[in-house]
Structure 1
Amino acid sequence: MKDLIIFGNGQVAELVYYMFNHDSDYRPVAFTVDEEYIKEEQLLGLPVIPFHNIVETLSPENHDMFVAISFTNVNKLRAQKVSVCKKKGYKLATYVSSKATTFPDLTVGKNCLILEDNTIQPFVTIADNVFLWSGNHIGHHTSIENHCFIASHVVISGSVHVGSHTFIGVNATLRDNIKIGKDNVIGAGCVILKDTDDENVFVASPAKLANIPSSRLKRI
Structure 2
Amino acid sequence: MSDIKKVVIIGDSSFAQIAFEYFNNDSPYQVVGFAVESKFRKQDSLFNIPVIDFEKIELYFPNKNHEVFVAVTYVQLNRVRTRLYLEAKNKGYKMASYVSSRAFCWGNVKLGEHVFIFEDNTLQPFVEIGNNVVLWSGNHIGHHSIIRDNCFISSHVVISGHCDIGKNCFMGVNSTISNNIIIADDCLIGIGSVITKNTEQNNIYKGNPAIATNVMATKLFKVLE
Is TM > 0.5 for Structure 1 vs Structure 2? yes
Q: 2:44 matched to which residue of 1? A: 41
Q: 1:175-186 maps to which residues of 2 (within 5 A)?
A: 175-186=178-189
Q: CA deviation at 1:188?
A: 0.4
Q: CA deviation at 1:104?
A: 1.2
Q: 2:154 matched to which residue of 1? A: 151
CA distance in 2 between counterparts of 1:46 and 1:111 reads 22
Matched, 1:193 2:201: no
- Structure 1 runs of 4+ aligned residues shifted over 2 Å read none
Structure 1 unaligned segments of length 5 or more: list them.
206-220
Report the aligned-residue RMSD: 0.8
Query: SS where residue 207 of structure 2 aligns?
Result: coil
Q: Please, which of 174, 178, 200 is the counterpart of residue 177 of structure 2?
A: 174
Matched, 1:142 2:145: yes
Q: 1:113 matched to which residue of 2? A: 116
Query: SS where residue 94 of structure 2 aligns?
Result: coil
Query: SS where residue 30 of structure 1 aligns?
Result: strand
Q: 1:15 matched to which residue of 2? A: 18
Q: 1:5 matched to which residue of 2? A: 8
CA distance in 2 between counterparts of 1:72 and 1:90 reads 22
CA distance in 2 between counterparts of 1:51 and 1:77 reads 14
Any idea what the Cα deviations from partners look like across 1:51-99, whole Å, max 9, x if unmatched? 1111111100010000000000110111111110000000001100000
Paired letter, 1:166: C
Query: SS where residue 203 of structure 1 aligns?
Result: strand
Any idea what the Cα deviations from partners look like across 1:188-209, whole Å, max 9, x if unmatched? 000000111110101237xxxx
Larger radius of gyration: 1
Q: CA deviation at 1:8?
A: 0.3
Q: 1:55 matched to which residue of 2? A: 58
User: Which piece of structure 1 moves more, 33-42 or 145-154?
Assistant: 33-42
Query: SS where residue 9 of structure 2 aligns?
Result: strand
Q: What is the identity percentage for the equivalent residue pairs of Structure 1 and Structure 2? A: 43
Q: Please, which of 27, 31, 38 is the counterpart of residue 24 of structure 1?
A: 27
CA distance in 1 between counterparts of 2:57 and 2:32 reads 12
CA distance in 2 between counterparts of 1:52 and 1:199 reads 32
CA distance in 2 between counterparts of 1:146 and 1:14 reads 23
Structure 2 unaligned segments of length 5 or more: list them.
209-225
Q: Please, which of 138, 161, 168 is the counterpart of residue 164 of structure 2?
A: 161
Q: CA deviation at 1:146?
A: 0.2
Matched, 1:125 2:125: no
Any idea what the Cα deviations from partners look like across 1:137-175, whole Å, max 9, x if unmatched? 000000010000000000000000000000000000000
Any idea what the Cα deviations from partners look like across 1:12-56, whole Å, max 9, x if unmatched? 000011000000001100000111111111011110011111111
Q: 1:72 matched to which residue of 2? A: 75
Q: 1:93 matched to which residue of 2? A: 96
Q: TM-score, normalised by structure 2?
A: 0.90
Aligned length: 205
CA distance in 1 between counterparts of 2:114 and 2:135 reads 11
CA distance in 1 between counterparts of 2:163 and 2:203 reads 16
Q: 2:220 matched to which residue of 1? A: none
